[in-house]
Amino acid sequence: LSITAMLSIPQAFMRPREAQKAADEAKARFAHIDGDHLTLLNVYHAYKQNNEDGQWCYDHFINTRSMKSADSVRSQLVRIAQRHNIRLCSTDFSNKDYYPNIRKAMVTGYFMQVAHLERTGHYLTVKDNQMVHPHPSTCLENKPEWVLYNEFVLTSKNFIRILTDIKGEWLVDLAPHYFDLSNFPQCEAKRVLERLYMKQKQQNQYGR
């Protein structure tokens, strides 16, 4: 819910021209190794832990108005979930699966927004095979084989923005209806998925 709320707001990070280096350093303190969605979650948790303090936001180059909006959206989502008797549950923070489970949950919702790293070093969006580049603002320091993205930004290049490192196995486990290879275009991603489906079949046949 917190990540969904953070995705609904304008940019949380401020980067004033006269203080770009300091702003980048402040953002780096929130960065998560697995990508931008979890970085946004870190920002939200820090905002709440610091009692939604405007001065704290200013000192860390966080947009106070955007954070208030995210908090409001999250409260609305909680009320909607409660109204429809949707159980809200979260893995305990101390559990090693805390972050992987969040990433898997995102795959179940955003499985159509996935890109695969080709051998040539660029990404292709899955199914429509658009060549794309990670947006320069991403916190990812490497190039994972699979990424989930939030936005497709068209400028002089095709960029994907707000990225998270995901596993190919999760795609075949959590969204087999979408990653149906019978209507999949020929590409490197299809060949990788074919191997993953074969591996899954063998594991199911012989037991995990």
What pLDDT sits at residue 71? Answer: 97
Reduced to 3 states (helix: H, G, I; strand: E, B; else coil), residue 162 is strand
Burial of 79 (0-12, 13-18, 19+ CB in 10 A): exposed
**C-alpha to C-alpha distance for 187 and 35, rounded to whole angstroms:** 25
What pLDDT sits at residue 204? Answer: 80
Mean pLDDT per segment of 10 residues, for the chain of length 208 residues?
94 94 96 97 97 97 97 97 93 94 96 94 92 94 96 91 97 92 87 92 74
What pLDDT sits at residue 207? Answer: 62
Phi, psi for residue 84 in degrees, rounded to 5:
-100, 15
Q: Using the 8-state DSSP alphabet, how is residue 115 labeled? A: E
pTM comes to: 0.92
